[in-house]
Amino acid sequence: MDPVAALLMLLAGLLHASWHAIVKNGSSLAILAGMGLVSSIVTLPFLFFVAVPSASTWPLILASLALHAAYKVSLTVTYGSAEFGRSYPIARGSVPLFAAIFAYVVLHQRPDFGQLVGIAIICLGIFGLARDRIHGRIDRRALGAAIVAAAMVAGYSVVDAAGTRQAEGWASFTAWIVVLDSLVFFLVATAQKGAAILSDIRAGFIPVLIAGVLGLTSFAVFLWALSRNPIANVVAFRECSVLFASLIGVLFLGERATIRRLCNAALVAVGLVWIAAVKAS
């Protein structure tokens, strides 16, 4: 990965962890739905300046929309019953594990020894976070939802990478996916909460607005990096946000800091950097 992309992805990781903390600290479903509306309002004018997706791109867009929606629903479940400093590293740190599985099953790409070492380090960190006894072990439902979220992220990363490399370019794919994803998830949220979702969004307008801007910026940088760098490198750099999440949980959400928890989060980050370094070499 080129240095500019690497630095931007680290910034995107910080923004990503920040908007997730806002979602965790508020009404998760309403904030996710509301921030999508903010993103779509900002992005909508750009649809008039980018190419319309071709017939070959629409299947990728539809697949991405389904994966993004499932990811967000999973987030609302795990954030509803688990601390941010535990749930976020599990959900994000598990992404390379699923990426390796998908690459093997779909593309028949066997992970090399270096990747397996990185995956093993990540597993140790995730196992430690799941067994953290500060407030008891993580709820099974929250743990399952975090793992499902990770699988969805791995899936949409592959799909979105293909979409950004279509003839229309990354800007077209980004604009269309942001607007359509926002509308799809708003319908999903409305189906779950009915008309009350609008009042919930209005009640948390400031957090919704901030999360929307942070999320849009982070996602745009992510898709830009995917369009010009190896997928595994981009995903690994982005998921280094687990360290930012651990710090945010302690500094801003009042979660208890322990050496064990910080070490487990650090293990996840080390494994992610290891995978990125192996892929880059």
What would the pLDDT profile of 260-270 be if each residue is shown by its tens digit? Answer: 878 888 888 88
What is the distance between the terminal CA atoms of the chain, rounded to a whole angstrom? 10
- pTM value is 0.82
Whether residue 38 is predicted with pLDDT greater than 80 in this model: the reply is yes
| Residue 55: band (very low, low, confident or very high) from pLDDT cuts 50, 70, 90 | very high
Helices (H), 82-169: 84-93, 95-107, 113-130, 140-164
* Percent of the chain surpassing pLDDT 70: 92
Whether residue 230 is predicted with pLDDT greater than 80 in this model: the reply is no
Question: 136 - beta bridge partners?
Answer: 134
Averaged over 214-230, what is the pLDDT?
87
Query: Using CA of residue 278, residue 6, residue 143, residue 126, what is the dihedral sign?
Result: positive
| Residue 242: band (very low, low, confident or very high) from pLDDT cuts 50, 70, 90 | confident
Which range of 89-103, 129-143, 180-194, 216-230 scores highest in mean pLDDT? It is: 180-194
Residue 117 in tokens: 């070492």
Strand boundaries in 108-253, DSSP class E: none
| Residue 1: band (very low, low, confident or very high) from pLDDT cuts 50, 70, 90 | low
Q: Which residue has the tokens 């998908």?
A: 102
What is residue 36's predicted lDDT score, i.e. its pLDDT?
Answer: 92
Helices (H), the chain: 3-25, 28-43, 58-81, 84-93, 95-107, 113-130, 140-164, 170-193, 196-203, 205-226, 231-238, 241-251, 259-280
Q: Which residues contact 157 (CB under 8 A, 6 or more apart)?
A: 95, 99, 226, 231, 234, 235
What total number of domains does the chain contain? 1
The conformation of residue 152, written as its DSSP 8-state character, comes to H
240 vs 180: which has the higher pLDDT: 180
CA distances from 236 to 100, 106, 114, 160, 269 (A): 12, 20, 14, 15, 9
Averaged over 58-71, what is the pLDDT?
95
What is residue 179's predicted lDDT score, i.e. its pLDDT?
Answer: 95
- The domain containing residue 186 runs over which residues? 3-280
What is residue 130's predicted lDDT score, i.e. its pLDDT?
Answer: 66
Whether residue 2 is predicted with pLDDT greater than 70 in this model: the reply is no
Averaged over 177-195, what is the pLDDT?
93
Q: Which residue has the tokens 């319309």?
A: 52
